[in-house]
Chains A and B, each alone.
Chain A
Amino acid sequence: MRFIFKTSYVQDLALFRDRAQRNWYVALFIALLALPRLLPEYLGDISLVFIYALCGMALMVLVGYTGLVSLGHSAFLGIGAYAHVYFTQDLGMPWLAAVALAATVTAAAGMLVGLPALRMTGVYLTIATLAFALIIQEVLTRWDRVTGGLRGKPVQKAVVFGLSVGNEAGFYFLCLGFLIGCLWLTCNLLRSPTGRAWVAIRDSEVAAQSMGVNLAVYKTIAFAYSAGLMGVAGALFAHKISFLAPDIFSVLLSIQFLLMVAVGGLGSLHGAVFGAVFVALLPVVISQARDAVPVWAGQVFGVFGKDAGRAVFSVVDRFVKQPGLEPGIFGLILVLFILFEPLGVYGRWMKLRLYFSTFPLYKRATFKRQRAYMRSERLR
């Protein structure tokens, strides 16, 4: 097992654990810079991964770090998207200023949702945010002077500092830049007292409170910050889908975001990114599998004769072409993860790493979930 010899407190404040880790991230960054040349046909999908990673990070701050579960994040994304488009196209504001203002508006909305959240815990809060999502969707439909209502609203290409970001590669770099910037901001918060206060609220509200954490203030900050990030993501998302309609920002999208943080692994920013990769690329994989799997199946069963092959092809084909398949698979994956790997993809990765680094001495109990009966539930 490798230990890092620490000689100064500054080392614990560094963004990267050691030089090796930093080099890995630099390598990843260079790979991402080279990606437009390597995989030009997938750039659109990867830009969506970046936007989803922003959403995942936003929700991770709230769910994974502060322990407040929200189903209202599709509404924040919608507010961000519509606000950004309104500011740039209807008011003619500069692009970056519009993004900043959209983030501010969304953060304010988040704060408004956060206020009643202070009085609610657990599933009741989730229901309240769900109601918020439905209300906002209705507002987006009815307020057609600003949102275009059900007719929708076309989104023009982004123009940043007079440069039109029309092509896919340009947009890819724009998303990458925003993702890295927001990751940096979030990392900063998480290594400061605010981040510690969030984790404290998640693990024990009573203890956090008696150590001087003002629950109301920090829960509101978490909501506002999370919503603000969603606002940024919304601005990029608007350009990505290039046409806004209220039904895009449905509760199903919120559930996808929740799936992202649950599958990625609660309580880590890595998890948010892994989850985003998973959720954004799964539809791509599914749609490719839809065409490929029946053909494979037909070929495999073709060895029993041509008729058998054709019959199997048509059965499998009918099955995979069902419209409900995608949400079904999403749901199944979420259930399987919660049952068998509550720590998500990142948790699995950590276990694997710990297993090898402590090889004969690995303790399974490290990741066992603690039973809660010892905790002072009655104080809540």
Chain B
Amino acid sequence: MTFFQADGLAINFGGIRALDGVSFEVDAGQVFTIIGPNGAGKTTIFNLVSRIYDPTAGRLIFCGEDVTRVPPHEIARRGIARTFQNIELFEHATVLQNVLLGRHAHKRSYFAEELLFLPRVRALEIEHREAAEKVIDFLDLQPYRESLIINLPYGVRKVVEMARALCAEPKLLLLDEPSSGLSVEETEDMAFWIQDIRNLLGITVLMVEHDMSLVSAVSDRVLALNYGRSIAMGTAREVQDHPDVIKAYLGG
């Protein structure tokens, strides 16, 4: 059984065909990267997988289940968590609150219990907190636990967003340009973390990325897109040397 499969994905925005029959498979435990020039449809794939958009055609299959029409808030419960290209953190909340929201997919308390803050809610909150602390520890976010997001530098926000996604204990993690806006050292740290996420936590990673050094450092498989069509698939080396990919980036 394939872990995650996109089958003939297509979507139109008005007259623009942003994706045109893109198919790919991600095996469990892989880091799968999607590259491509601007406007190739990379983030669109993410928005389809996290169900913000409805595909015009095609299917998404996750762990043997068709998730093409699952409502967007259910996706996290199925085990898919994501980050955003332009950081979508809750800015007027602390890092801890942000990370704890990542636990929402594991919420088990009911409204009436929460209203009275019964002992069960307290116990569940502590359970959530322990899970959150594990992630904070994993990503070295201890110094920032109580800071508001608006006070944090961009690089840390990126990590916080990843922490929030990890807190959902996903099986598949979608990282939308994890290195955008990061310095060289921060990008290197990001590479180590992505490898740790795969190797230590056993989470499959689907990633959109431009930084080819990061792509070749961590990716098991790479898919290149251009104008909504897949033009090459394989290891980072193979895709980078593919004539169509070079043509897509440099023209000619």
Contact = CB atoms under 8 A, between A and B. Distances in A.
Partners in one complex: yes
A212 B92 contact: no
Contact of B73 (A12, A188, A209, A376): A209
A41 to B, nearest CB: 37
A375 interface: yes
A185 to B, nearest CB: 5
Given A207-B84, A370-B150, A188 B115 contact: yes
B104 A213 contact: yes
A108 to B, nearest CB: 15
Interface in A327-354: none
Interface in B84-102: 84-93, 96-97, 100-102
Contacts of A370: 91, 150
Given A206-B84, A206-B88, A215-B73, A196 B104 contact: yes
B91 A211 contact: no
Interface string B74-89: 1111000110111111
A212 B77 contact: yes
Contacts of A207: 84, 88-90
Contacts of A193: 103-104, 107, 109, 114, 128
Contacts of B134: none
Contact of A194 (B100, B111, B130): B111
A207 B115 CA distance: 25
B250 interface: no
Contacts of B77: 212
Interface residues on B, range: 35 or more
B116 interface: yes
A155 interface: no
A379 B52 CA distance: 8
A374 B180 CA distance: 13
| B interface: dominant SS | helix
Interface in A189-243: 189, 191-194, 196-197, 199-200, 202-204, 206-215, 221
Contacts of A267: 92
Given A200-B101, A211-B101, A214-B73, A189 B90 contact: no
Contacts of B107: 193, 212
B32 to A, nearest CB: 19
A192 B109 contact: yes
Interface in B212-236: none
Q: Which of A192, A202, A215 has the most chain B CB within a 10 Å cutoff?
A: A192
B168 interface: yes
Given A197-B104, A376-B86, A210 B114 contact: no
B101 A208 contact: yes
B128 to A, nearest CB: 8
A196 B90 CA distance: 10
B12 interface: no
A265 to B, nearest CB: 12
Interface string B160-193: 0000110010000000000000000000000000
A366 B92 CA distance: 10
B121 interface: yes
Contacts of B121: 192
Q: Give the secondary structure class of A's interface.
A: helix
Contacts of A204: 88-90
Contacts of A5: none
B87 A185 contact: no
A189 B110 CA distance: 11
A210 B115 contact: no
B125 interface: yes
Contacts of A12: 96, 129
Nearest to A203: B90
B105 interface: yes
B151 interface: yes
Contacts of A13: 122, 125-126
Q: Which of B93, B117, B164 has the most CB of A within 10 A?
A: B117
A191 B117 contact: yes
B141 interface: no
Contacts of B130: 9
A163 B163 CA distance: 55
Given A13-B122, A366-B148, A370-B150, A210 B52 contact: yes
Given A210-B52, A212-B168, A375-B86, A199 B150 contact: no
B72 interface: yes
A209 B72 contact: yes
Contact of B92 (A203, A214, A363): A203
A285 interface: no
A109 to B, nearest CB: 18
A10 interface: yes
A235 to B, nearest CB: 19
B91 A203 contact: yes
B45 to A, nearest CB: 14
B73 A212 contact: yes
B50 interface: yes
A356 to B, nearest CB: 18
B147 to A, nearest CB: 10
Nearest to B104: A212
Contact of A196 (B47, B91, B100, B151): B100
B54 to A, nearest CB: 13
A203 B117 CA distance: 25
Contacts of B81: 210-211
Interface of A: 9-10, 12-13, 185, 188-189, 191-194, 196-197, 199-200, 202-204, 206-215, 221, 267, 363, 365-366, 368, 370, 374-376, 379
9 contacts: A200-B101, A200-B104, A204-B90, A208-B90, A211-B81, A211-B105, A211-B165, A213-B104, A374-B87
5 smallest CB-CB distances across A and B, nearest first, come from: A212-B76, A212-B105, A207-B88, A192-B114, A203-B90
